[in-house]
Structure 1
């Protein structure tokens, strides 16, 4: 049962922090996956095959992988305000520069640099939330933050499609205008972060004294509890086998997410609709998934159950991909993609509530970054494999089956980890007795 001070404090920090970080992630996700819309005309203008597009879209995650852990360690040391601002300004500059790629090599280089620039943003925000919200409230808050990804697809898809219509303005292609104009918000918000974001509860002058005192004590007590059994050093966060397990689970969900982000517009376009129609049709599945994600994560918080909330969601997404592979009508395809969106969106918040239950301090920074960096390599593998299979077979079906298999693997591994941890807890209780 929540006390009055708990309700008041959580309400205040939620309204202060969550809408702002949602806006940041909204912009981040648009700049990360707008290549899916650019490709509707960019492929023809630059002569890219599906393999080149898939590899270039996915190489973003190698830059992300290489710089993720050091970026999150720096964020933990210097504070979220300064580091998130740096991340946003550099990724905004590189995202805008994507407008001037002129071949496969420059495309690969710029996508790699974009990943390196953005490395640390997502795990940095996950770590940041662990400074402000007690663990029992974290899945719900994480869901609101992560809802920005499907929302950015829902709102960004028609916008990106409309910007493609600027083809020929000032002798630039429509996809060039899309990259330039969609990069500007990241640059502006990078400056806003410096004045708006607060690093830790101790510095929150916008909280009342009793609210600040309650939050500091609550988070200190929670960290002290983790100190008794949790992991704290850099090596602890990297070496914990649970971190590797969660990274492999996240690999499957990332493969599904970026299959949607990169290839869904192409798959919809393949049914013979216009680019503008693709923009509106691609917006339907994420709108549904936002509602499902919030309700699912609230249920996970209310029951305290994480494992089955991840498993069921991963299986649902896998089923949706299998159906999408055989869909031959717009209605059937959008229904299948809606199921995929719902499944992937619902899996992520309860999954991201798991690492901060056993990691704290620097270990949390490195552990979360490790999970995200390894897991996000699914965003490289899936688009690349789908592009290669499309060029080889002329169909997206084989690639979609492959990604469905990765999601089933995530579900099975989640169940195995759950059983293993339950056995460990029971053994620990038996030893105490």
Structure 2
């Protein structure tokens, strides 16, 4: 394992741009930046919403379209092993989350996978009627929970904790069937203690489902060590799988036999090509398949996972924390007069790979920054959100991004009316 040698906690922050350039030159991850196709003149701090495109993706899509679809046509399902893409991608993804072979499947969307696993978990705890989640969970997670209770589990109830882990533990009791939480809060970037919360749930006899959308690929995860029951996540954020790339689900091997998939589509059948009209679930993780996989959507993800196979997660995490530390330092030292509130925890053990700033004019400021070539994003009602993907974001990016924000605030440029116009996608 290569030792991390840049920007250790004991070193002072760079005092100028030249110092940032020197750090970038010493960065053991610096060459990974060239594995991504990033537009010139853009500082991309939104990889926590949509990751940058690996440079190898266009060629992979070209091969899939021409050598597969165009040339081999339907023969590609066998000759290129298209049918097994959900399993193959799951095997490639599993090491990033501390999962064992056969525990991860790449398929469908996060919302659909959450519904599958929620149903499975509730069926495994039939005498318990309470689901514990969090008030600031990503909305789709709460929507799925609410919908499941309304349509299939009418006798159950949903209770919501605040952002602190102690508040979650307080709500877990003898009637708790499932605890369903996000590992990293999508708004604040707060990182939960997965192992401690999972232990508390298990001590009460409950099962846990973790949403890793905003952590996997940037934060070390070990589902096996934490004894997690179930997990879900997308692949288009830090995992750089591309817009709408297939999501994934994790089922601990100890639960595979008992867990049931409520969406009994033909791909989850024990023998899908026998075309038996009577459903019999697969005995493996494939029981959580539903329909035909969107083949071309898997190809970019496989290219990104090749990059992750060559990167060292301890280095990614060390760099992530230093980048976010540096960004917070720059905001507080250069922008103190403009009323920004750092919403992201300072404690490394409680921080994901993003920094959230509160400001009452967050929307127009974000739009002015984007025009200046610094792409972050906005979360209602008043949050500027910046994601730091260690594979392609550097220290000079942090310097230039905060310099641009300082210029925008001092000039008042964000006040121009065009920056206040709302857009459909925020």
Tell me if both proteins adopt one fold, taking TM over 0.5 as the criterion: no
| More contact order relative to length (CA 8 Å, sep ≥ 6) | 1
TM-score, scaled to structure 2 = 0.23
Structure in which a larger fraction of residues adopt helix: 1
Structure in which a larger fraction of residues adopt strand: 2
Task: Kindly name which structure, 1 or 2, has the bigger radius of gyration based on alpha carbons.
Answer: 2
